[in-house]
Amino acid sequence: MALCLGIESSCDETAAAVVADGRVIRSSVIASQADLHRVYGGVVPEVASRRHIELILPVVDRALSEASTKIDEVDCIAATYGPGLVGSLLVGLMFAKGLAFAKEIPFVGVNHIEGHVYANFLEHPDLEPPAVCLTVSGGHTEILEIKDFGEYVRLGMTRDDAAGECLDKVGRVLGLEYPAGPQIDRLAVNGDPDRYPLPRSMMDEETLDVSFSGLKTAALNLINSERQRGREVDVGDFSASLLEAVVDTLVDRCRRALLQTGAKRLMLSGGVAANRRLREKATELGESMGVSVYYPSLKLCTDNAAMIASAGAFRFMRGQTSSLALNASPGLRL
Ligand code: KG4
Ligand code: ZN
């Protein structure tokens, strides 16, 4: 059995987890900094890295004790080395490398986006590639072909804003707290998705890329013009209309990716994969195409270290480890 300690600190969650054989979560500790950044309406990088420094040791300690294990029993240590905020990444990465060096434990650097994909392999113990995976979060929107463990082809990505970023930024102008995504999810349930006309991204082109900056600008302009006319914007209806535009675009790209690859499995991952409308419409798409649709439980959608430990363990079990000279890579691609 391979026991992997995973560490994640790419944005505003300080997280550590212990995972067995890449599939079984022994512990998963997440210290969110969301409350700290809420007053600023978004993550402040300097504040985030300082908080990671305070939290990293107690979080790793707790992950080990909740897994009823000790560092000497760990077979590999995995940490996110990109993409993300450089100051935040460095805290978890340097901590992991220092621990690996001191204890002579193999170290594995993990791409954060790859981690999100593996949340599905944790949630569904029998799930195997090949598959198409839509990874959507506050920082990334990628459509990947998962040919095998560790073998990916990026089919499409956002040309500008990430899906979660678009929801968070428009949500802020609607008066919602950061991060707005989960609130938009709840508000949209009773809202009218046809009330506010909003554009869908590049539906006529063949591309698998998406773009959300046009939608964001159109949404912000609409809110401003309603307010200038003295009309109140209905937050529920607006949330539903905005979400529908985002989900329509994402599900359309999943459809194109499934057609192009012939894959029979579709996986959703990342914070926005927690969204109930996206899950619902992806499931409908799967039913119409004879494709099985998978997504992680809510806790595994948003940033966590179990997914990093899982991706790291799969690499370790294939004999792939990283040099202790590995640097943080804020713009890392998969
Ligand atoms: O994966 P994640 O925790 O961090 C990044 O890697 O970015 O994703 C956070 C993003 C935020 O933009 C947040 O608003 C969005 O995921 N999000 C949601 C939901 N839960 C989180 N968006 C829509 N519906 C949700 N239920
Ligand atoms: Zn993430």
Q: In CATH, what number is assigned to the domain containing residue 13?
A: 3.30.420.40
**Does 151 reside within a domain?**
yes
User: In this structure, are 139 and 95 located in the same domain?
Assistant: no
Pick from 33, 34, 64: nearest CA to 50: 33
**For ligand 1, is residue 8 a contact (CB within 6 Å)?**
no
Clarify whether residues 172 and 192 are in a common domain.
yes
pLDDT tens-digit map of 281-296:
999 999 999 999 999 9
Quick one: CA torsion of 63, 67, 68, 70, rounded to 10 degrees?
-60
Both 45 and 152 in a single domain? Answer: no
Q: Look at residue 33 in the predicted model and tell me its pLDDT.
A: 86
Q: Do 29 and 18 touch, CB atoms closer than 8 A?
A: no
Q: Give the count of domains, the chain.
A: 2
Asked whether residue 250 is domain-assigned, the answer is yes
pLDDT at 329: 97
Contact of 174 with 232, CB cutoff 8 Å = no
Q: Is residue 329 part of a domain?
A: no
Atom index in ligand 1 nearest the CA of residue 179 equals 14
On whether residue 41 sits in a domain, the answer given is yes
Q: At 95, list the tokens.
A: 């901590």
Ligand lying closest to the C-alpha of residue 279: 1
For residue 139, the CA-to-ligand 2 centroid distance in Å is 7
Q: Is the CB of 312 under 6 A from ligand 1?
A: no
> Domain for residue 143, yes or no?
yes
- Based on the fold, state whether residues 136 and 281 are members of the same structural domain: yes
- Do 184 and 100 share a structural domain? no
For residue 289 the two structure tokens come to 């195409």
Task: Look up residue 48 and give its amino acid.
Answer: A
Residue 327 forms part of a structural domain: no
Taking a C-beta distance cutoff of 8 angstroms, is the pair 31, 39 a contact?
A: no
Neighbours of 14 (CB within 10 A): 30
Q: Are 140 and 113 in contact (CB under 8 A)?
A: yes
* Domain that residue 32 falls in: 3-118+301-317
Q: Give the other-Cβ count within 10 Å of 272's Cβ.
A: 30
- In a shared domain, residues 55 and 136: no
Instruction: Tell me, using a 6 A CB cutoff, whether residue 167 lines ligand 1.
Output: yes
Residue 230 alpha carbon to ligand 1 centre in Å:
32
Considering the domain boundaries, does residue 325 fall inside one? no
One domain for residues 170 and 292: yes
Q: 10-residue block means of pLDDT along the chain (334 residues)? A: 96 96 98 87 90 97 98 98 97 98 98 97 97 95 97 96 96 94 98 96 86 96 96 97 98 97 98 98 98 97 97 97 98 91
Residue 203's pLDDT is what? 77
Residues flanking ion ligand 2, Cβ below 5 Å:
137, 303
Q: Nearest 5 degrees, angle CA 183-CA 187-CA 192?
A: 145
Pocket test for ligand 1, best of 134, 297, 302, 308 (most atoms within 8 A of CB): 302
* Ligand 1 nearest-atom number relative to CA 139: 7
pLDDT at 43: 85
Protein residue with least CA distance to atom 20, ligand 1: 182
Which pLDDT belongs to residue 264? 98
Same domain, 111 and 151: no
Q: Do 137 and 236 share a domain, yes or no?
A: yes
Cβ of 137 closer than 6 Å to ligand 1, yes or no, is yes
Q: What is the pLDDT of residue 334?
A: 87
> How far does CA 56 lie from the centroid of its chain?
20
* Within a domain: 265: yes
- Taking CA atoms, 14 is separated from 56, 93, 111, 130, in Å, by 6, 12, 16, 31
Q: Tell me, using a 6 A CB cutoff, whether residue 77 lines ligand 1.
A: no
109 & 132 share domain: no
137 with 278, same domain? yes
Same domain, yes or no: 213 and 313: no
